[in-house]
Amino acid sequence: MTTTLSDEQIASFRERGYLQLDAITSAEEVERLRGIFDRLFAERAGWEKGRSFDLAGSDEADKTPVLPQILNPIEFAPELGDTQFRVNALAIARQLLGPTAEPWFEHAIFKPAHFGAPTPWHQDEAHRYDPGMDYEQLSIWMPLQPATVENGCMQYIPGSNRGPILEHRSLGGDPRKSALECIGDFDSAAAEPCPLPPGGAAIHHCRTLHGASANTTDIPRRAYILAFRSAPVPSANREMYPWLVGKTTPAAERAEAWRKRGGPLGRGARRIGEFTRSFAGKVKRRVRRILGN
Ligand code: NI
């Protein structure tokens, strides 16, 4: 199954900033992905590396997350590399961003049943930590069960992709919260919800204002997002956004601590150290037994 956008769809994306597709992959693949997602979120995969975190809550180990997210889940489930979703998404990204479009990052979001928090209104471009670089970016958002207004489907402000980056701040003004919220001037009453069947897709430009409601239903709302960008070019006009200056999240601190401990190499070295110590302990105990003390 391959997906190609029509000229009409491409024109609509440029005008309105988003597109809605009924299917970007098969029902079988969605079911397989749901199993992988449920395992990754149950394990909180990537917690110690700061890859797994609570987007909207306090993000502490002993607190139940209200909007858990895993950045680059493919690191923890390599089988995610082999999907029709990925193939179709790249083809669509190249239609919309041009032939230089490349996969950039991906994330998995789990909005828990009954208490999953709303996703605040934001523009993805407001999250960029790379001043001095310019590129176009889009995200392809696929739900792994029906996405409805009641469980937190995407909602978009049409045409906001053609406007400027509006002012943002950390959610609730708390720089320890990972999520950003737009506090600029826009009309949230103009929002258009984008309900989808499982395996459908909502595609949005990095400037398109978007958000989602809380999950008030009995089923968790899982979404798999692939982000793409055009070839980056240096740009003197691109400065660091003021709302990112001094932002320190618990996830960033965990990532930093992980790097300081040596990352995956450090973990390997620690394991070898533990093994050597336990082996040495066993030898010592055996020698003592043999010697009778
Ligand atoms: Ni977003």
How far is Cα 123 from Cα 285, in angstroms, rounded to an integer?
62
105 CA distance to ligand 1 middle (Å): 13
> Could you read off the pLDDT tens digit of each residue along the chain, which spans 293 residues?
678 999 999 999 999 999 999 999 999 999 999 999 999 999 999 999 999 999 999 899 889 999 999 999 999 999 999 999 999 999 999 999 999 999 999 999 999 999 999 999 999 999 999 999 999 999 999 999 999 999 999 999 999 999 999 999 999 999 999 999 999 999 999 999 999 999 999 999 999 999 999 999 999 999 999 999 999 999 998 999 999 999 999 999 999 999 999 876 666 666 666 666 666 666 666 666 666 65
Q: Does the domain formed by 7-261 have CATH 2.60.120.620?
A: yes
Pairing of strands 18-21, 201-205: antiparallel
1 CA distance to ligand 1 middle (Å): 27
**Residue-by-residue DSSP string for 109-169:** EEE-TTTBPPEEEE-GGGG---TTEE--EEEEEEESS-B-TTTT-EEE-TTGGGS-PPPEE
Ligand 1 ion: residues within 5 Å (CB): 124
Instruction: Quote the pLDDT of residue 237.
Output: 87
123 CA distance to ligand 1 middle (Å): 6
209 CA distance to ligand 1 middle (Å): 8
136 CA distance to ligand 1 middle (Å): 14
How far is Cα 184 from Cα 182, in angstroms, rounded to an integer?
6
Helix axes of 27-43 and 84-97: crossing angle, nearest 10 degrees: 100
- Residue carrying structure tokens 């975190």: 53
Partnered with residue 202 across adjacent β-strands are 20, 141
Question: pTM of the prediction?
Answer: 0.88
Instruction: Quote the pLDDT of residue 263.
Output: 77
161 CA distance to ligand 1 middle (Å): 13
210 CA distance to ligand 1 middle (Å): 6
